[in-house]
Amino acid sequence: AQKITQTQPGMFVQEKEAVTLDCTYDTSDQSYGLFWYKQPSSGEMIFLIYQGSYDEQNATEGRYSLNFQKARKSANLVISASQLGDSAMYFCAMRGFNFGNEKLTFGTGTRLTIIP
Amino acid sequence: EAGVVQSPRYKIIEKKQPVAFWCNPISGHNTLYWYRQNLGQGPELLIRYENEEAVDDSQLPKDRFSAERLKGVDSTLKIQPAELGDSAVYLCASSPPGVIGYGYTFGSGTRLTVV
């Protein structure tokens, strides 16, 4: 079984500041992938960044970076220089590679609000 | 490249009525997923298809929900009869074969309201 925990229901951040969204996970798989998605008020799920469990370096995609700490089973999303358009729900998700775990399992999400 | 297309975008029905949702995945994506997202929650998998075969339907309430993916392309998710608790957003997603790090592409979803 896989489980994703996001403990921050909501966050308020000043524009241009960096923000860290927390995510911890639990899985019995040795190999797995971790994802972050953004969901604006319009409802679509937008893929942001991916980290493989055996990747030695933290993933980065533009202003997004993933702080992966395997021993602590955490995969926090860092958004640098936040913008008003970053206001949205953010979901952490994981996918295992063992039989039965080849599906995205999501956390409950964090609502991020950027303040001008 | 067209994204994952879902219809309808919104649906309001009375309880006990049937309802169907349609999904057209990205061309070449052999894996298709139906997720349900309750208000304030993350999406939860209902069913996963590899081509036309349903390989994971363990979370699908089979007494009232059914799904099909004829010819391994389009898919339809049906609820009959609908209950008040079925009100949610139903998301379809697809992914290509053999690419693990590729984020699944989601459609815009169908927001179902059962009254």
CA angle, corner A63, sides to A3 and A66, nearest 5? 30
In Å, how far are A3, A21, A30, A35 from A24, measured between CA atoms? 8, 10, 16, 12
pLDDT of residue B100: 63
Contact between residue A21 and residue A90 where contact means Cβ atoms under 8 Å apart: yes
CA angle, corner A103, sides to A97 and A108, nearest 5? 120
Q: How far does Cα A29 stand from its chain's mean position?
A: 19
Contact between residue B94 and residue B26 where contact means Cβ atoms under 8 Å apart: yes
Select from A35, A97, A107 the Cβ nearest to the Cβ of B103: A35
**Is A93 near chain B, with CB under 8 Å?**
yes
Model confidence over B89-106: pLDDT tens digits? 999 999 887 766 666 899
Instruction: Kindly state the greatest CA–CA separation across chain B.
Output: 42
**Is B14 near chain A, with CB under 8 Å?**
no
Contacts of A40 in chain B (CB under 8 A): none
Q: Which of A44, A103, A48 is nearest to B109 (CA)?
A: A44
For residue A12, the surrounding DSSP H or E stretch is strand A10-14
pLDDT of residue B102: 67
Q: Do A102 and B56 touch (CB under 8 A)?
A: yes
Cis status, amide bond into B8, omega within 30 of 0: yes
Which is more confident, B46 or A44? B46
Mean predicted lDDT score pLDDT of chain B:
92
3-state secondary structure of B70: helix
Q: What are the structure tokens assigned to A20, written together?
A: 């860290």
Checking if the pLDDT of B1 tops 70, the result is no
Model confidence over A19-51: pLDDT tens digits? 999 999 999 888 899 999 999 998 889 999 999
